[in-house]
A and B are shown apart, each in its own frame.
Chain A
Amino acid sequence: AQKVTQAQTEISVVEKEDVTLDCVYETRDTTYYLFWYKQPPSGELVFLIRRNSFDEQNEISGRYSWNFQKSTSSFNFTITASQVVDSAVYFCALSEAHASKIIFGSGTRLSIRP
């Protein structure tokens, strides 16, 4: 069975701090894809990243970085020098190669205080 766990329900930090959002997944497949989505207060889910299970290279995009560790089944997301506009609910998600649907975690609500 596939499952995504985001143990941090809510995180609150002061602007300019770095923050890491944790994600642990479960799957029996050897080929799968991991995603992060952002859901700002407006409600629309915004795609951030997609990684496949064969690519463990860390990825950096501006202030965002992702750490994929197959050995611990984790796909953590770090925001460096956080800004108020980063405040949102962030979802980690998983899709197995043979299926198109995405399985989402329960989300982490991130609040950045000025």
Chain B
Amino acid sequence: GAGVSQSPRYKVAKRGQDVALRCDPISGHVSLFWYQQALGQGPEFLTYFQNEAQLDKSGLPSDRFFAERPEGSVSTLKIQRTQQEDSAVYLCASSRRGGAYEQYFGPGTRLTVT
């Protein structure tokens, strides 16, 4: 596709459920990023992949959060035992190179934990 796509666009989970959020980056983009955006705030970095290697996961808020990109393309962000504070928009971005290059964002997945 032409841009970054994410699915689902909206997810409602009951507290304690596990969720999986998917990101399809722009074809050929080496780098993939996950960000969390709370209401009224700027995106906050969660984790970064270069190809299939997870090079930085310093932003993951707890060990309930896990991300993978096994074949260096599609990525999945998994949240286990969701809590209300996990409610946010989860944004995926891709970049054609590693390093501080422009990142192109997907539409996000809005997660609501009830």
Q: Which residues of A contact B (CB under 8 A)?
A: 4, 32-33, 35, 37, 42-47, 50, 91, 93, 95-97, 99-107
In angstroms, Cα B108 to Cα A100, docked, is: 20
B66 at the interface (CB under 8 A from A): no
Quick one: given A44-B106, A99-B56, A101-B56, are A50 and B101 in contact (CB under 8 Å)?
yes
Closest to B6 in A: A44
Residues in B neighbouring A4, C-beta threshold 8 A: 42
Given the contacts A97-B100, A100-B33, A45 and B45 also touching, CB distance less than 8 Å: no
**Which range holds the interface residue count of chain B?**
20 to 34
Point out the residue from B45, B93, B104 that lies within 8 Å of A103, measured CB to CB: B45
Task: Verify if B31 is at the interface (C-beta below 8 Å from A).
Answer: yes
Is B53 interfacial (CB 8 A cutoff)? no
